[in-house]
Structure 1
Amino acid sequence: MNRIEKAFAQARAENRAAFVGYLCAGDPNFEGSLAACRAVIESGVDVLELGVPFSDPLADGLTNQLAAQRALESGSNSERVLDLVRAIREFSEVPIIFYTYYNLVFAQGSQAYAERAKAAGVDGILTLDLPPEEAGEHLEACAKHAIQTVFIVAPTTPDSRLEIICKATTGFVYYVSREGVTGEQASMSESIQANVAQIKKHTDLPVVVGFGISNADHVRTVAQAADGVVVGSAIVNCIAENPADDQAIATSLRAKMGMLLEGGALTKK
């Protein structure tokens, strides 16, 4: 099994959902980002989703837009993001997923991008704005270099497209819990369980749920329906609050992870 398969298999064996944590690579700077990644990994993240900083992150809310801005202003670029992955691989085998926009892949060419990502230690790529119907070159490159693909299903996705999306996916399916962009929210949609069940009619791969999950009650709710729970903005905000202090970032992140996972929030009932 690859790292992604192992992570979800381990979670299933422990009767729980997997925890997928999002951080923007290079936020607030390289060393701070590495400290943040170490903190969330040591605090129980099963899969690390690394946002590749981009100037026009159209799927992201303000929290993640500002994270990308901080990363870019600190000098982050494609090579430094790969350097971050290499640095993580010196102390962890956690699965790493790139959360990116297709412009950044296209600029290098799909084959070159996948090859370099794999060599650095990346396990999967989620290209937010690349529809599977137009992803032939990307899918071919990922298959050649043993990179898993992740595609998104939205609440508005018609059933007729689910099969297409699931067929293009080799890692896990990412269901976004609401329409719109990333960001914390006060409550979770009541349709999550039904929509995840509908996706599972089209795939045997894990289905994770993200967008807006910000506390242990949210995690607990989603964990009952999905194979994985994605938390992003609630974690990224820990960096926004302490951008000049790596130790404070790490301390805040560990506290936040503890709050999100308190009371065995990921455990299946």
Structure 2
Amino acid sequence: MTSPAAPATDPAPARGGGRVDVTPSRTAELLRQVRDEGRPALIAYLPTGFPTVDRSVEAVRTLVEHGADVVEIGIPYTDPVMDGTTVQRAVELALESGTRVRDAFRLVRAVSDAGAVPLVMTYWNPVLAYGVDAFARDLAEAGGAGLITPDLIPDEASEWIEASDRHGLDRVFLVAPSSTAERLQLTARASRGFVYAASTMGVTGERATVGDRAEELVARTRERGAELVCVGLGVSTGDQAAQVGRFADGVIVGSAFVRPLLADGPWSERLAALGAVVDDLAAGVRRAREGASA
């Protein structure tokens, strides 16, 4: 029989059935703080090294200055199977500029110094190649809060679960509308920080509307033990952020932030355009729960 589901921010099960003490989740603490303020968090994604490492540092600082609460720092990958065309193009440019895994830690420090919570989002192979414990150690030393792993499921994550416990890091796993009740419970129990709810089936990218299955997925995930659930894939405007923020603890945005940086023109103008997009989405999350009952 499956044991009762625990909140996603609980310590992970230790080998032998016991529990292990871990550092409190910085991401969960931030999400609870903004929830108490009456809004969801704005969670922003940008890839490391796009268009160069120095400029990506400037870009993540711009995200924070204009209202991002959490920044997902992507590690470029040669086969980004989950990413849409906008993010794929940015990742290609980052790889062409010579970006390496270790460059992500520089962005982690920049986000932390700017006052937001930094997470790294990556496919699993780069972490394996770097060394799981070494990656966790260097991420923690850089000030990172944890890791989002879109292609790693809890069943196959024992090495990462142990390393994240040793170094006090969050681990964010994904659920989708197709996830069974058992899968939702397993993911909620294994995650720390929050559970990432992919609101639509398919690759990332901006959409005219956000799938109406997102709210149902959030509710189902909470029913299976997740305290904090954030929604991504498809959000690109302040109105969409307000819509999703009515039921999610965090609104995750990626392609909408990459797009202005892919435009032509001086870098300063592209950063200004990025800031305007963040302003719109930050305003959206602030109005998400206006008029909601206490």
Question: Would you say same fold, with TM above 0.5?
Answer: yes
The DSSP-based 3-state class of the residue aligned with 1:78 is coil
* 1:54 corresponds to 2:63: no
* 1:19 corresponds to 2:24: no
Match of 1:197 among 193, 213, 219: 219
Deviation (angstroms), 1:35: 1.1
One-letter amino acid of the structure 1 residue matched with residue 171 of structure 2: T
Distance 1:254 1:145 in 2: 33
Q: Who is 1:145 aligned against?
A: 167
Match of 1:43 among 57, 62, 66: 66
* 1:238 corresponds to 2:253: no
* 1:76 corresponds to 2:99: yes
- Structure 2 alignment gaps of length 5 or more: 1-23
Distance 2:227 2:147 in 1: 15
User: Retained in 2: the 8 A contact 1:170–1:205?
Assistant: no
User: Retained in 2: the 8 A contact 1:148–1:170?
Assistant: yes
Q: Who is 1:262 aligned against?
A: 283
1:177-256 to 2 correspondence within 5 Å?
177-242=199-264, 245-256=266-277
The DSSP-based 3-state class of the residue aligned with 2:44 is strand
Q: Who is 1:175 aligned against?
A: 197
User: Retained in 2: the 8 A contact 1:100–1:128?
Assistant: yes
Deviation (angstroms), 1:218: 0.8
One-letter amino acid of the structure 2 residue matched with residue 155 of structure 1: P
User: Retained in 2: the 8 A contact 1:171–1:205?
Assistant: no
Q: Deviations over 1:43-99 (max 9, x none)?
A: 11111011111111111011111111111111210122222323444x323111111
The DSSP-based 3-state class of the residue aligned with 1:257 is helix
* 1:105 corresponds to 2:127: yes
Q: Who is 2:19 aligned against?
A: none
Distance 2:40 2:107 in 1: 27
Q: Who is 2:144 aligned against?
A: 122
One-letter amino acid of the structure 1 residue matched with residue 120 of structure 2: F
Aligned-pair identity (%)? 37
User: Retained in 1: the 8 A contact 2:25–2:170?
Assistant: no
Q: Who is 2:180 aligned against?
A: 158
- Poorly superposed stretches of 4+, deviation over 6 Å: none
User: How many pairs does the alignment contain?
Assistant: 267
The DSSP-based 3-state class of the residue aligned with 1:225 is coil
- Structure 1 alignment gaps of length 5 or more: none
The DSSP-based 3-state class of the residue aligned with 1:21 is strand
TM-score (normalizing by structure 1): 0.94
The DSSP-based 3-state class of the residue aligned with 2:283 is coil
Q: Deviations over 1:140-194 (max 9, x none)?
A: 0111111100000011111121111111101110001100000001111222222
User: Retained in 1: the 8 A contact 2:199–2:210?
Assistant: yes
Distance 2:73 2:267 in 1: 18
Distance 2:282 2:189 in 1: 32
Q: Which structure's CA Rg is the greater one?
A: 2
Distance 1:191 1:81 in 2: 33
The DSSP-based 3-state class of the residue aligned with 1:261 is helix
Distance 1:2 1:150 in 2: 11
The DSSP-based 3-state class of the residue aligned with 1:256 is helix
Distance 1:148 1:267 in 2: 27
Q: Who is 1:34 aligned against?
A: 57
Distance 2:62 2:262 in 1: 15
The DSSP-based 3-state class of the residue aligned with 1:262 is helix
Distance 1:53 1:194 in 2: 32
User: Retained in 1: the 8 A contact 2:195–2:228?
Assistant: yes
